[in-house]
Amino acid sequence: MKRSLIFTLTGWFCAAILASAAAAADPNEPNAAKPSDASGAKSPAKFTLRYKFQPGETVRWKVVHQAQVETTVSGTTQTAEADTVSVTAWRVKQVAPDGAATFEYVLESVDMRQKVSGRMETRYNSQTDKKAPLVFEGVAQTIGVPLTLVTLDAKGKVLKLQSLFGKQSADSEAQFAVRLPDKPVAIGESWSAPGEIEVSVQGGGATRIKILESCTLKEVQGDVATIHVATQILTPIHDPSIEAQVVQRESSGTIRFDLKAGRILARKIEVDKRVVGFAGNGASVLGYRTQFTSELLAGDSSPAGKTEPAPAEAQSAKRPVPPKAQ
């Protein structure tokens, strides 16, 4: 899942915070290919990674996002923290013979907190609060509503994207699924996929920044593959105000992928960056730390045409502790 659309929430958090602050393979594995060369020596086992879905199923993830932004401007330092526990779902509508799946993306529930130094903490739980605080009203309006209709091929490429609620962000296509390799890969092999994100420029308008997502197959145990993933900014950036907008995208982490079921079981993505001069002078410093985790929920499917409530373990999920600056 190349940054599942829950990163809509990630982007929202970053915008809100910045606004506040500035204002080894098993040879017996049955799925492994074991070709031999002419000398009789065995080549490394290779594994095929593909997404697999069934029409009518609903696949859910529990997502935890924690962020801390520290800004220093004109000698004054302000810290903002935000965290969320949410349940996101892919409601699969149809699957083509080649494996391409069309699904609706839905945010089923969310428990949010935001704290800016010098201000009272703001909280919102969509399952217990009848009314959301003003700062969270936009998110509250999206709960349980199909947000995006996506067609994703078996290798994670977005074939079609349609916004069903509000305006689609300029780089939404880059937020759905981790791209998988075109061919079977052995442990230690890498692959990559280029992309672009759009950022605002001073004086109005926008520009596009080239990025590269690189993946490496680290190990395979049973049916579970562990993949290291990292996103790099390729476009040279000389403007700190633009660098501050893309800092959250320069990330690295680990993904656990079920080879048999064809879906992501869990992932952990982290960012720890600093930008000097983001507010127009060398004395301004932005420190950004975030951790994003997701976990596939058990009992993740439902009959076609029906909608299940979020599983109980997600409803009772405890609020995470925000990452601390070092």
Per-run averaged pLDDT (10 residues), the chain, 326 residues: 40 47 42 48 90 96 95 90 96 97 96 94 96 94 94 94 74 69 97 90 87 96 97 92 88 96 95 88 86 86 42 42 42
Phi/psi-derived region of residue 311, left when phi > 0, alpha when psi is between -120 and 50, beta in every other case: beta
In a domain, 323, yes or no: no
pLDDT for residue 290? 94
pLDDT score at 200? 87
Strand partners, 94: 102
Q: What is the pLDDT of residue 303?
A: 41
In order of 91, 100, 103, 157, the CA distances from 55 in angstroms are 9, 11, 9, 19
Query: How confident is the model at residue 198, as a pLDDT?
Result: 87
Q: Is residue 248 part of a domain?
A: yes
What is the pLDDT at residue 91? 96
- What is the SS3 assignment for 123? strand
Domain presence at residue 265: yes
Does any domain span residue 89?
yes
Burial 132-169 (b: 16+ CB within 10 A, else e): beeebeebeebeeeebbbbbbbbbbbbeebeeeeeebb
Any domain includes 40 = no
Q: What is the pLDDT of residue 281?
A: 67
CATH code, domain with 256: 2.30.230
Dig out the tokens for 121 from the structure. Answer: 């903490």
What was the pLDDT predicted at 278?
Answer: 84
CA distance 174 to 152: 12
Taking only the tens place, the pLDDT of each residue in 112-161 is 999 999 899 999 999 999 999 999 999 999 999 999 999 999 999 999 99
Asked if residue 326 is part of any domain, the answer here is no
pLDDT of residue 248: 84
Asked if residue 1 belongs to a domain, the reply is no
Question: Residue 189 and residue 268: Cα distance in Å, rounded?
Answer: 20
Residue 299 domain flag: yes
Q: What is the pLDDT of residues 230-263, one digit of tens each?
A: 999 999 998 898 998 888 889 999 999 999 999 9
pTM: predicted TM-score of the whole model, two decimal places: 0.78
Number of domains in the chain: 1
CA separation, residue 217 to residues 104, 190, 229 (Å): 29, 6, 9
Q: Which domain holds residue 138?
A: 7-33+46-315
